[in-house]
A and B are shown apart, each in its own frame.
Chain A
Amino acid sequence: MFRTALIALAVLGVAGARAGEVSVAVAANFAAPMKVIAADFEKDTGHKAVTAFGATGKFYAQIRNGAPFEVLLAADDSTPARLEAEGAAVAGSRFTYAVGRLVLWSAMPGFVDDKGEVLKKGGFRHVSVANPKIAPYGAAAVEALTALKVGDAVQPKFVLAENIAQAYQFAATGNAELGFVALAQVMKDGRIRAGSAWVVPADLHRPIRQDAVILDKGRGKPAAEALLKYLKGDKARAVIKSHGYDL
């Protein structure tokens, strides 16, 4: 018994010496696929990805003020570019790991039709949306409403969430009848999990490019480089697609 434990410890010690840990700041909308990818990543490479989920703007402020993140999976493409321009990220490591899809969603089955006509018809008091000033999915929602020419009618009904996770929470609890959320939040195994939804056509807003970048603290770290390489691989891409992202 004791000897088995010793051997196990020795094996773990050897594995620990080879494999590393990488600390990743992940956009809230990418939480579900990232959990799957992180588990696969550890199984396939031995490296461990330690994840924190949140708003990209907040991560930016934290990274600029010394947060120990080594990789950022942002909800936009401007934050990684900005970090790179400011010298806080490794130049040339940036790439688009997913293109987000916006969806108009309601927790009530049948409330949202498959053409989004509900936006013109009305009959709702609140639409939850991630704050367009700081969240790319929120900005995309405003662009789509403008393109549909219903911006003036719908925007007074906005309730602003601090990120896309809270936008979903407002709609999921029924406090907002409608919510603009990420398709990834309401999709499972290729279909809408619950309620009713309209996937907003991609040509109604600028593409929501989500970029990944290695941060200053991850410079030269094998685990950080391995994670970005893994995200480009077929296995991770399949997971990302199955969660409702374009690539």
Chain B
Amino acid sequence: MMPDASDLGAVWLTLKLATVTTLILMVVGTPIAWWLARTRSWWKGPVGAVVALPIVLPPTVLGFYLLLLMGPNGVVGQFTQWLGIGLLPFTFGGLVVASVFYSLPFVVQPIQNAFEAIGDRPLEVAATLRASRLDAFFTVAVPLSKPGFLTAAVLGFAHTVGEFGVVLMIGGNIPDKTRVVSVQIYDRVEALEYANAHWLAAAMVAFSFMVLLALYTLNPTGKRK
């Protein structure tokens, strides 16, 4: 059985979710990574640990708490209702919020590592040349950390595409809104439609391999010019 409209809809939705999530994460993650890389504050440990939590927590834990927090009795849910945007579970916006949390470490950590690898020296030199801190950040730190940004964007995107447990917990499986590829595959398997499941599952394997291959070929670690 060839992929049908619901399969293609799920693919399109997944790409949209991963793109939006990655863009938000690059904007939100960069300042967090910068702060974590430069700070000598006592807070570095706790903040770094919170950022890394999604790596070790089962997605069901994240999904369960998001469902409670974003529900009508949760803090976030009451806030979003107060804002007039209603409740987030079962919406595309809700999936974006969940994905941002879920993929945060995969974006913050590569950027943070890249910033740390620069060291103090280039920034001190920039300062002696009277570059402002913001100027030095954009003209020195960011260009030197380009491989880190590339890794962060690719991993953030790929990790969001591979998301399943959190979406299952808060998505509600609505076509074109919250039914992403991983959930669609799960449904196909549950409904014993193995042929359709194979199409999507094989595509996921190919996609993930290509992404990682591109990452490791274009961006070899340990060899920096």
Contacts and interface: CB of A to CB of B under 8 A. Distances in A.
Interface of A: 55, 57-58, 60-61, 125-126, 128, 131, 133-134, 158-162, 169-170, 173-176
A173 B71 contact: yes
Contacts of B67: 169, 173, 175
Interface string B94-107: 00000000000000
B42 to A, nearest CB: 36
Contact of B71 (A57, A61, A159, A174): A174
B189 A133 contact: no
Contact of A57 (B89, B170, B191): B191
A126 B170 CA distance: 13
Given A173-B71, A175-B90, A55 B174 contact: no
B71 A162 contact: no
B217 to A, nearest CB: 37
The 3 closest A-B pairs by CB, nearest first: A159-B172, A160-B173, A174-B72
A174 B81 CA distance: 13
Interface in B58-94: 67-68, 70-73, 86-87, 89-90
A159 B87 CA distance: 14
Given A125-B86, A134-B187, A162-B168, A173 B68 contact: yes
B172 A160 contact: yes
Nearest to A160: B173
Contacts of B86: 125
Contacts of B87: 125, 175
A170 B173 CA distance: 12
Nearest to A64: B192
24 contacts: A55-B190, A61-B192, A125-B86, A126-B172, A128-B172, A131-B187, A159-B90, A159-B173, A160-B174, A162-B168, A162-B173, A162-B190, A170-B172, A173-B68, A174-B71, A174-B72, A175-B67, A175-B71, A175-B72, A175-B89, A175-B90, A175-B170, A176-B90, A176-B172
B35 interface: no
Contacts of A173: 67-68, 71, 73
Contacts, number: 57
Given A57-B190, A58-B190, A131-B187, A158 B174 contact: yes
* Residue with the highest number of chain A CB atoms closer than 10 Å, among B70, B172, B187: B172
B189 A61 contact: yes
Contacts of A176: 90, 172
Contacts of A162: 168, 173, 186, 190
B90 A131 contact: no
A162 B68 CA distance: 18
A55 B172 CA distance: 16
Contacts of B187: 131, 133-134
A162 B173 CA distance: 8
Contact of B90 (A55, A58, A126, A134): A126
Interface in B81-136: 86-87, 89-90
A81 B70 CA distance: 42
A161 B173 contact: yes
Given A61-B190, A131-B187, 5 more contacts: A61-B189, A126-B172, A134-B190, A158-B174, A170-B172
A57 B173 contact: no
A121 to B, nearest CB: 19
Contacts of B186: 162
A162 B170 CA distance: 12
A57 B192 contact: yes
